[in-house]
Structure 1
Amino acid sequence: MDDLKPKPASASELTISRLMNPEHANPVGIIHGGEVLKMVDEAGGIVGMRHARRPVVTVRLDSMTFLQPIYVGNLVRVHARVNWTGHTSMEIGMRVEAEDPITGRIVHTNSAYAVYVALDEDGRPAPIPPLLLETDDDRRRWQEAEERQRMRLAQRKQAQTS
């Protein structure tokens, strides 16, 4: 099938940006973590749909550490790209940065990895195109993602036997 031909990460990667306003923040002006998580999942879901050309659902979001605060008035950018693909699932990596649009200062605030599964018309897992590895960076990301996927599967197996 033509829609299952290997695709490079560059074909679906995406950056979304949003200006953080007071309604996104707590009383001291720091953006709620849930706002950032929502942006991360939105960016990851769009990248997943672009890669699979199908609806996708989030099945796992690996831990996210908030490295720096994000403040009201910051422009938040989430860059997302496919790192690894399986038969129906894919890992998408997200990098979150906050920019002060007045000073131009940019800080890396978060990174996350999420697994999405593509769905067919009946809501069941559907095959997705393999990831075409074009660069050394693509190959490095793939190898690191494969190791994370092995760990996820081992954790799942352990949880099922507990």
Structure 2
Amino acid sequence: MGREKREVTLRFLAEPGDVNFGGKVHGGAVMKWIDLAAYACSAAWSGKYCITAYAGGIRFVAPIHVGNMVEVTAKVIYTGSSSMHIAIDVQASDPKKLENRLTTHCIVIMVAVDEEGKPTPVPEWIPETEDDIKLRESAIKLMNMRKQIGEEMEAHVKFLK
């Protein structure tokens, strides 16, 4: 398979500067970590500079507290000709207990680009396990749903003009 690496995990310590007025890590900090992990994963898979094309379905399911160890895992679940769909899981734990709990989940689409910023081909990912086949099918289903949402948004924008 060459140099492609399908999964990357980044680790962060939730710091006081990451906290909102409610005392929890704010969504912006989490979204930054998600973007960094998506980039690291897509660059490792493609061996190319990548840009974020879409981030969606971000679900904040549990808060992250100051002092928590945060793990952001990014995994390729679908490849197009130049795009990579990356599933992201954010987990946090108290360093004294080390019991990870899911805090956030989403899908990010990254596109590999050349020196002129034009999309460039990426290696194909072919699922081998049953779980990976289900992840790929889910990515395709979400892609079709996003197309429908995009069409509806276009109609909405025209209506507002």
TM-score normalised by structure 2 residue count = 0.89
- Pairwise CA distance, 1:79: 0.6
> Which of 53, 57, 75 is the equivalent residue of 2:69?
75
Which residue pairs with 2:84 in the alignment?
Answer: 90
What is the root-mean-square deviation in Å for CA atoms of aligned residues? 1.8
* TM-fit CA distance, 1:27: 4.0
Q: What residue number does 1:103 align with?
A: 97
What is the rounded CA distance, in whole Å, between the counterparts of 1:42 and 1:102 in structure 2?
A: 26
* TM-score computed with the length of structure 1 as normaliser: 0.89
Report the residue type matching 1:36 in the other structure. Answer: V
Secondary structure at the aligned position of 2:57 is classed as coil
- Give the distance between the partners of 1:112 and 1:7, measured in 2 at CA: 25
Change (3 A) 1:134 1:21: same
The aligned counterpart of 2:139 is: 145
- Whether 1:118 and 2:112 are equivalent positions in the alignment is yes
Gaps of 5+ in 1: none
Q: 1:55, 1:7 → 2: CA distance?
A: 15
- Deviation of 1:6 (Å): 8.8
Which one scores higher on RCO, CA 8 angstroms, separation ≥ 6?
A: 1
The amino acid that maps onto 2:13 is: L
The aligned counterpart of 1:157 is 151
Distance in 1 (CA, whole Å) between partners of 2:70 and 2:18 is 12
Give the percent of matched residue pairs that are identical in Structure 1 and Structure 2.
31
1:26–1:155 distance in 2 versus 1, CA, 3 Å:
closer
Q: After TM superposition, give the deviation of residue 133 of structure 1 in Å.
A: 1.4
* Residue matched to 2:9: 15
Residue matched to 2:59: 65
- Give the letter aligned to residue 155 of structure 1: I
Q: What's the CA shift for 1:7?
A: 8.3
Aligned residue in 1 for 2:127: 133
